[in-house]
Amino acid sequence: MNLQETILDPLAFPFFVRALVASMIVGLVCATVGSYMVLRGLAFMGDALSHSAFPGVVVAYIVKAPLYFGASIAAVGTALAIGWLTRQGRLRTDTAIGVLFAAMFALGIFLFSTIPNYVGDLFGFLFGNVLGIGFGDLLSLTALAAIVLASVLVFWKELLYATFDPLGAAASGLPVGRLDYLLLALIALTIVISLQAVGIILVVAMLITPAATAQLVARSFGRLVVTAAAIGALCPIVGLYLSYWLNSASGATVVLVESALFLVVLAVTGLGARLRRPEPETD
């Protein structure tokens, strides 16, 4: 088998092409939204929101509603509840997250355990199976991705200012509170989009790892997002081919590729910094 066949052969399968397109879109959206999350220290929030989407998925499955719909309601609802609890000032963010996310995941497991028969789809959502994505799913995924990316494009400046200096932004008239809620809602939607590609457990890696890698090399916010988005869109290609050749779980393979890239960049930049340690200037 030569290289050309190795690359082209899988593309003959429609399911592989669909999976490729889906995971590239997911990677792109995750990395874009993840850039804001990394800068705001919201990695834990990503993990929490993905877990809290679970009961929504189970309920949607039981009542035979679209799974994306159930997941969206549960995740966005939890995101807004966390935001509200935190803004009351009585609980620290991580405490509010810890309480809500464990409760929501437990609710999902509880509901799941009451379903009498084995349900394969739910395992798909827990661990991701992008190879099983249908054309209809791909369409709704693309539509949701477009909504998230358009929102980021519209509020790019405002989200950046509110992330960098919330106090200065609020004082100069930006609606920082509403922007916080918007970002939480975007994170929740992004997670919903990603559920089928990587699953509840691993989606946090898709959100955080590309942005964390980009943060090691990028010197401006624009470049951070572009670098993260490029990593997020390209790693799934490598990951999916690997998973095809190795017959490994697709979501996990993509995450491992992103993680390996992070480690390589970390090692290279660490080495570079040791060679020429730039001293910050004094006046």
Binding site for another protein (CB under 8 A): 39, 89-90, 153-155, 157-158, 160-161, 164-165, 167-174, 215, 218-221, 223-224, 278, 280-283
Nearer residue to another protein within complex by CB, 176 or 249: 176
Identify the CA nearest to 208 among candidates 88, 73, 45.
45
Nearer residue to another protein within complex by CB, 163 or 243: 163
CB of 105 to another protein, least distance (A): 30
- Whole-number Cα distances in Å, 45 to 3, 13, 120: 42, 37, 27
Tokens found for residue 173? 């008239």
CB of 140 to another protein, least distance (A): 26
CB of 30 to another protein, least distance (A): 19
CB of 168 to another protein, least distance (A): 5
Nearer residue to another protein within complex by CB, 116 or 173: 173
CB of 224 to another protein, least distance (A): 5
CB of 156 to another protein, least distance (A): 9
CA within 13 Å, CB half, 58? 22
Nearer residue to another protein within complex by CB, 160 or 260: 160
Nearer residue to another protein within complex by CB, 107 or 216: 216
Nearer residue to another protein within complex by CB, 122 or 225: 225
